Amino acid sequence: MNFTDQLLRAQARHDSFLCVGLDPEPAKFPSHWAGDASKIFDFCARIVDATKDLVCAFKPQIAYFAAHRAEAQLEELMAYMRRTAPQVPVILDAKRGDIGATAEQYAKEAFERYQADAVTLSPFMGFDSIEPYLRWPGKGAILLCRTSNPGGDDWQMQRLADVPGQPRLFEHLAALAQTTWNTNGQLALVVGATYPGEIAKVRELAPTLPLLIPGVGAQGGDAEATVRAGLRRAADGTVTGTIVVNSSRAVLYASQGTDFAEAARRVALATRDQLNAAAR
Ligand X SMILES: O=C(O)c1cc(=O)[nH]c(=O)n1[C@@H]1O[C@H](COP(=O)(O)O)[C@@H](O)[C@H]1O
Residues tagged active-site: 95
C-alpha to C-alpha distance for 112 and 176, rounded to whole angstroms: 27
Stretch that binds ligand X, among 33-41, 228-236, 242-250, 272-280 (CB under 6 A): 242-250
C-alpha to C-alpha distance for 141 and 162, rounded to whole angstroms: 27
* CB closer to ligand X out of 21 and 30: 21
Q: Is residue 218 near ligand X by the rule CB under 6 A? A: yes
The answer to whether residues 203 and 227 touch, using CB atoms and an 8 Å cutoff, is no
Tell me which of 23, 117, 171, 198 binds ligand X, using CB under 6 A.
23
Tell me which of 11, 246, 264, 272 binds ligand X, using CB under 6 A.
246
Q: Is residue 120 near ligand X by the rule CB under 6 A? A: yes
Could you tell me which of 231, 123, 255 has the C-alpha nearest to residue 182?
A: 123
Stretch that binds ligand X, among 159-167, 171-179, 213-221, 237-245 (CB under 6 A): 213-221
**What sign has the CA pseudo-torsion 115, 116, 117, 121?**
negative
Tell me which of 6, 147, 242, 271 binds ligand X, using CB under 6 A.
147
* CB closer to ligand X out of 192 and 210: 192
Q: Which residues of 12-25 are buried (b: 16+ CB within 10 A; e: fewer)?
A: eebebbbbbbbbbb
Could you tell me which of 237, 171, 160 has the C-alpha nearest to residue 200?
A: 171
Stretch that binds ligand X, among 43-51, 106-114, 215-223, 262-270 (CB under 6 A): 215-223
Give the CA angle between residues 184, 240, 177 to the nearest 5°. 40
Contact positions toward ligand X, by CB under 6 A? 21, 23, 61, 93, 120, 147-148, 190, 192, 214-215, 217-219, 246-250
